[in-house]
Amino acid sequence: MKRNGLVLIHTGSGKGKTTAAFGLALRALGQGFNVLILQFMKGRANIGEIKALSRIDLPVELKQFGRDVFFKSRTCELIDIYLATKGLAAFLEAMAGGRYDLVILDEIIMAIDFGLLKLEEVKEAIAQKPPELHLILTGRNAPAELIEMADLVTEMREIKHPYSQGVTAQKGIEY
């Protein structure tokens, strides 16, 4: 049976977008899929998902296209644009290579929102998706044009978060 590749978006102000995408990666790996995860605006190696992936022998690759900083504002540097552009090029190359069944573009929506990538470039890249490839995009503030292109859109909405009470990021929960 031929697979009908879907475009999924996890967006919204609440926690869980990346976590949900990684959950789907795990599910796909369990079904024998080859998975590629491209993280935009992220460059920290000391996070749980990277540590876990380094310990398993499954067909999954993770590449980061960001600096080891946390963006608290839209003030970015040229290096951030360069890295995001490299990430988009890696996505195009991965699609052309045909090795992957599922590709996750983690925080690509934030890269658009912060002006590191142009919406039109990302839309053009998505339009080149092979019909059998599943694609997941994550990040806050998904533009209507991306939502229109997607087959499934989930909005994470923050109702309550310990950060609001002054609790700092927790190992194993936020990273």
């700092």: which residue's tokens? 168
Alpha-helical (H) ranges within 31-71 are 48-54
Tell me the pLDDT of the chain averaged across its residues: 92
Domain parsing of the chain, residue ranges: 7-165
Pick among 3.20.20.70, 3.40.50.300, 3.40.1280.10, 3.30.70.1070: CATH of 7-165: 3.40.50.300
Is residue 2 over pLDDT 80? Answer: no
Token couple for 60:
């999954």
Span between the terminal Cα atoms of the chain, in Å: 38
Digit-coded pLDDT (tens) for 153-173: 999 998 888 877 888 887 877
Residues 6+ apart with CB under 8 A from 129: 5, 7, 95, 135
Q: 87 in helix, strand or coil?
A: helix
Sheet harboring 60-65: ordered strands across?
A: 60-65, 35-40, 102-106, 134-138, 7-11, 152-155
For residues 33 and 41, give the distance between their C-alpha atoms in angstroms, rounded to a whole number.
26
For residues 52 and 32, give the distance between their C-alpha atoms in angstroms, rounded to a whole number.
18
Question: The pTM is what?
Answer: 0.92
Digit-coded pLDDT (tens) for 76-132: 789 999 999 999 999 999 999 999 999 999 999 999 999 999 999 999 999 999 999
pLDDT confidence of residue 167: 86
Is residue 175 over pLDDT 80? Answer: no
Token couple for 17:
């977008």
- Section 15-27 average pLDDT: 96
Token couple for 131:
């019909």
pLDDT confidence of residue 72: 65
Q: What is the largest CA-CA distance in the chain?
A: 51
Cα of 41 vs its chain's centroid, Å: 10
